[in-house]
Structure 1
Amino acid sequence: MMPHSMADSSAPKIPLYKHLYVQVIFAIVVGILLGHFWPAIGTEMKPLGDAFIKLVKMIIAPVIFLTVATGIAGMSDLSKVGKVVGKAMIYFLTFSTLALIVGLIVANLVQPGAGLNIDPATLDQAAVQGYADKAHDSTITGFLMGIIPDTMVSAFADGNILQVLFVAILFGVALAAVGERGKPVLDLFQTLTAPIFKIVSILMKAAPIGAFGAMAFTIGRYGIGSIANLALLVGTFYLTSFLFVVVILGAVAKYNGFSIFALIRYIKDELLLVLGTSSSEAALPTLMQKMEDAGAKKSVVGLVIPTGYSFNLDGTNIYMTMAALFIAQATGIELSLWDQIILLLVAMLSSKGAAGITGAGFITLAATLSVIPSVPIAGMALILGIDRFMSECRALTNLTGNAVACLVVARWEGELDVEQMNKALSGEVVATPPASEKPAALQPAE
């Protein structure tokens, strides 16, 4: 990973328009305007967003492999790998369950679907059949078997995050176990890290174009007006996610010595990128880089962040219970306390079974409803039109939750440089920025 850089008052001030977050905000606004006033043209911008996400996904596998393999190989005590993963899983399970419970409580209090009185027979089953089919294929056993790639190379070819993580952990452990004989390979991997992250900084230059294309398509295809008739559900979900981040994650952050607002400010580039593209994967490489810049040990960052992308989905979990109860309320179906407990338990499992699948939020909802026969899967058609808008909030909450998890687990393990974290979150340390933002004084020698 690139070295930390102290802020230098003598360094030239970066013009505002060169900051990535400013460029992304501008691109999002332009995308919204284009999609609203010229929806046909906006819809045609979809390939720009898709292309950017593909570019980032292309580099995710080598970033994870090099970060995890070199981090583990550099550990003096390999038993720490198991301890880090174990503590991370305890954290993930605790807060994922808490997110499900919060969604359940809020949906019962607000009752966003009450009074709609929709007849399930009038709903379009075909509109959601594809999601239901994918959910049917997403079993826990299949998910666990899917972590093991067919070959070591196929993990990289398919770009499956958990498969790459699995191979990286094995390789890192093996590299540490062979000792001095593995040092040339470790040196090679550490040298490779610099150009790989240079590629990441180059790709980030295209972030505004990707955000513009994705937002123009979303507004052009679904329209801002499509939110209006389901505004209570959307508003309740956004407010619940916000309170979960500020109150619950905020309390966890404060207990562990940092401010949730300082962390959000620190990762604002990544959050805006996720807002524009509706994909948390778009921010994965730079989030890992920033967590290390904030003082978390490379090995912890490499283990917690990629694993969290599949197991620590706070936003998705809030969405699942709220959406399931919304459908039940909208179709006039009364769910007993026992039915809701079953719903909660099924959601806990299905959220893991469909982890890492594109459109996981909607698919996990289908998987959950398929086990509660009283709630029709066809009811998902009610929220199909607004799912794209809700997916942005899911991704934002998931990303923030994983950033908090990384710093917390690093602190638990004694692998967090608290002084470095405080400087980074207060802005005293310049996080390794995209190349387009880096002043000349901080440019590495070519």
Structure 2
Amino acid sequence: MQGLHLTADLYGCRCETALMTDAVALADMCRRAVQASGLTLVDEKYHTFPEWQGQPGGVTGAVLLAESHLALHTWPERAGVTLDVYVCNFSTDNSAKAERLLNDLMATFAPQQCITNRILRGSRDPQSQSDELLLEWLNDHSAFGFKATRRLETMRTRYQQLEVFETPQWGRLLRLDGRYMTSERDEFFYHEPMVHVAAIAHEQPRTVLVVGGGDGGSAEEMFKHPSVQRLVLAELDGDVVDMARKYLPSIHHGSLDDPRLELRIGDGAAYVAEQASRSDGDRFDVVVLDLTDPDTPAQQLYTREFFAQVRQLLRPGGAITLHISSPIFTPERVRQLMAALRSVFGIVRPFGLYVPLYGTYWGMACASDTLDPAALEPAEVERRLAERGIAGLRYYNGEVHRALFALPNYYRELVQG
């Protein structure tokens, strides 16, 4: 059944000694805490363990609640306590009561250190797996998440785990290998700067390469520039494109079936290498690297060697644009990517913005030998947007274009050449 499961491991407890060794005292304290929380005690059982090597034994307690249970065990020789509170939320939401019970118990035991976990158990609707908490790890020490109301799709493709969810916060959300890729309600935070920073700085982009981007969001933004005549979308995983067609039309807006789009399902790195090796290979005004993170199957597309091959595909005045991860949670990755870009291109402009779905300030970059988007004034950006008939953008405008390159000091220090 759907519910909330709370655990806590307490160390260095500074409570009364009796609470660690006396089952009667411990039971009395637990009864008061359960009553104060508003939960309903049905039955209880406590057991005191015998002394061991001259040390008093601990106490194990189990409290049967109408809403589920409380379990705890004391370790007097370590001044430690383990707590376990679980409540069912099927008929009513008991989460706040469970939180209060755990907090009251922790306050009574007064630990110097504690480790807590909160687990959402089960679902109100097992068929849809609603109320699932979706967590993503930003690094080894940090995670954040959103609640899903319905799991729409789960599949293991040839390359990765693909999931599509319905969420209260973001509408439909695409996740690959446990990492958020895009969502209906926040995709413009990512796709608009990723595309328009380079495209608006270019005098007249006609040919475009998008590597990755199987959701169609980058292609949709690029097609807003009327000069675009051809867009090659090189996506490794065809299942991503299929799922985007099925579930994410509000992101791609039909761009995946635009006659100007050439869809190439396969290895983007192999396509770029092949075109770079040919004197008559494809050449582009803008290349968008709309990829998963560097520690995924896209890893080889973040190397100096790949950037050098992409450079060979650029027409005079061309540029590439890409995300470079989070300067907050993966600073060393950002530093390495900037170094690799600068070793290939004459002009590299890092920029950044907060992306809600990613839960953090996010780094991006535009690289070229001749095109410098940071030199474009806000008024000129607005003039070009109007001239090209680009309206209805939700994030990007002339002032934002300039502001994207105004880096916080910590980010500036990280990326300075």
Alignment TM class, shorter chain as reference: under 0.3
Structure with bigger strand share is: 2
Greater C-alpha radius of gyration: 2
> So what's the TM-score if we normalise by structure 2?
0.21
> So what's the TM-score if we normalise by structure 1?
0.20
Structure with bigger helix share is: 1
